[in-house]
Amino acid sequence: MSLQFQPLVSLKPFNSFGVDVKARLFAEAHSDQDVREALAYAGSHALPLLVIGGGSNLLLTADIDALVLRMATRGIQIVTDDGERVVIEAQAGEPWHPFVLQTLAQGLSGLENLSLIPGTVGAAPMQNIGAYGVEIKDVFAGLTALDRHSGELRDFNLAECSFGYRDSLFKQQPGRWLILRVRFALSRVERLHLEYGPVRQRLSEQGIEQPTASDVSQAICSIRSEKLPDPAVLGNAGSFFKNPLVPAAQVAQLKRQYPDVVAYPQADGQMKLAAGWLIERAGWKGFREGDAGVHKLQALVLVNYGGATGGELLDLAQRIQRDIAERFHVELEMEPNRY
């Protein structure tokens, strides 16, 4: 057995909130065989198995009585290339943003709007990550996952993943599928998505009239750096709450009391409310209690100022949920997975 199991390992370096909890056992997978060994070990020792990637979508509230397996597999390869459309595959443990930069360096566009999102490639389809008008589903070409129940490998196409807003089959069936590698359909012909005003404005400020995909990536990196704290400096998991989807009639009712409410129409007739606006309007932006707080520049982001526990952060999140429900009759849903 090549996999190295370590007892009572602190997970502080492996979650972007920087919460200090311990794993009963910890191991890192560098191959499919490592993954199978971890599954076999957990099964034979009646241990739960928790698989993590970059730890950027986790809120750990207690010590983890399980085998924690960190996906550290690496590798990027071109699967098909017809001169314009290029399908590229990346292993689950590849860090997301460096992967995006590598595709751009190869002259491939499609992922530029998803620049500077923390985490790993394998975690991206779980949440159907998205930003500035682009989601994983828009560039998805397939993935390979291991069925933890049967031990079989399965390839998934777009329709089989049931992608939704920050949702997927893999999130809906926790503990069933372990994503090993993901394929993306990118293009040598740039078709830029510049619908979001801040992106166009930043490019204009930089005097860029005919942007490239790399220009868009750099603009988005600068915008995100200004709005969102660096987890290496201030513990956080990015946007902590989903933007709630509500009926148009509810938004119309809210507008009568709050004319400046921020909401976006959706294809199905619903409206997507800006959770950050709701939280800021309720007065939570910049709130701090002990070392748990809400970021002073972005109300969607909960932060750990150093010594907050996962329980304290969860308590703060639940207080915000209750307040928003009472004030606006809107239910906020947390994005991070909680353990």
The reply to whether 166 belongs to the active site is yes
SS3 call for 223 = helix
335 a catalytic residue:
yes
CA distance 20 to 10: 6
Closest C-alpha among 193, 200, 208, 198 to residue 114? 193
Catalytic residue, candidates 148, 166, 202, 281: 166
Q: Give the SS3 label for residue 97.
A: helix
Dist CA 100 CA 98 (whole Å): 5
239 is a catalytic site residue: yes
Contact 240, 338 (CB under 8 A): no
CA distances (Å), 202 to each of 15, 116, 199, 205, 247, in order? Answer: 31, 16, 5, 5, 32
Question: Which of 112, 239, 281, 312 is the catalytic position?
Answer: 239
How many angstroms separate the CA atoms of 119 and 138, rounded?
19
Per-residue CA distances from 267 to 216, 245, 249, 270, 272 (Å): 25, 12, 15, 7, 10
Please name the residues in contact with 166: beta carbons below 8 A apart, sequence gap of 6 or more.
Answer: 127, 128, 129, 130, 242, 335
* Token reading at 34: 């490592």
Q: Are strands 6-10 and 49-52 parallel, antiparallel or unpaired?
A: unpaired
Which positions are annotated as active-site residues?
A: 166, 239, 335
